[in-house]
Amino acid sequence: MNVKEFPIATSAIELGNELGRTQNQSLNAYREAQKYFDEYHKFLRDGAPVNHALRLVERNRPFTLPKKKHKGDIKFLLLGHAYNIFDTFINLDFQKKLQDQGVEVLTIENLPESLFKEPVIINKRLRNYWRHEEEIMQSIRYFLTKGRDEIDGVIFLISFACGPDSLISELIMRDMMVVGLPFLEITMDEHSGEAGLLTRVESFVEMVRRKKKKLEMDSKKKLNC
């Protein structure tokens, strides 16, 4: 069912009917699921890594933050569809590769809900149609303005031949150039070799780290003048 035309509850009722459940039973199940999802969503907003949260869901355990939160000397915003950035098989455990190099990873799931309330207006003639791409653009809008100093770089994982991602990736890259924020686009395909991917990640991390150190040194020199 097209959820843009009908509420999700309608789909829940139809599914329940096929499973031999009454309308009230279906609606109650839907409300319970929605309540649990809201708790899960808040858990992510509080800073929980998605993969950690999913493990707790799978084991039916309460939402508790990990005892040891990964801290790095640089922080990246990792963009992309959930099936690209959280599936460790598809992305060759991409987040671990970043963490192994001292990078703290932030995803749009960890950002405040308030950032996603206003639509992004690109121009009078160009409006974004896709919901997830809209969320990506909304998160970028924040880091281009108020949150500019909260991250050191942006990495965008996209699927090969994904039209929507290709379009907004170009827009994001141009915005990053304007504000001087390092940006790396990684296209995920069917390759299983890690060498090329690791080389690109290591080079990007090293470039960002050197840039950050240089800015810190220049700032100290100005203070001592």
Q: Which tens digits make up the pLDDT trace of 54-94?
A: 999 999 999 998 877 667 889 999 998 888 899 888 888 89
| pLDDT 10s digits, 84-133 | 899 888 888 899 999 999 999 999 999 988 888 888 877 766 666 778 88
pLDDT band at 42 (very low <50, low <70, confident <90, very high): very high
* Residue whose C-alpha is closest to residue 45's, from 97, 103, 114, 101: 114
| pLDDT 10s digits, 165-178 | 777 888 888 888 88
Q: How far is CA 52 from CA 39, 40, 41, in A?
A: 14, 11, 13
* Residue whose C-alpha is closest to residue 165's, from 192, 196, 187, 144: 187
- Averaged over 32-49, what is the pLDDT? 91
Q: Is the CATH code 3.30.420.40 the one for domain 74-224?
A: no
pLDDT band at 34 (very low <50, low <70, confident <90, very high): very high
Break the chain into its structural domains and give their ranges. Answer: 8-58, 74-224
What is the DSSP secondary structure assignment for residue 120, as one 8-state letter? P
Which range, 32-36, 44-48, 111-115, 126-130, is most confident? Answer: 32-36
- Kindly give, in sequence order, each residue whose CB lies less than 8 Å from that of residue 19, ignoring residues fewer than 6 positions away: none
In this structure, the number of other CB atoms found within 10 A of the CB of residue 158 comes to 19
Q: For tokens 């960890």, name the residue.
A: 110
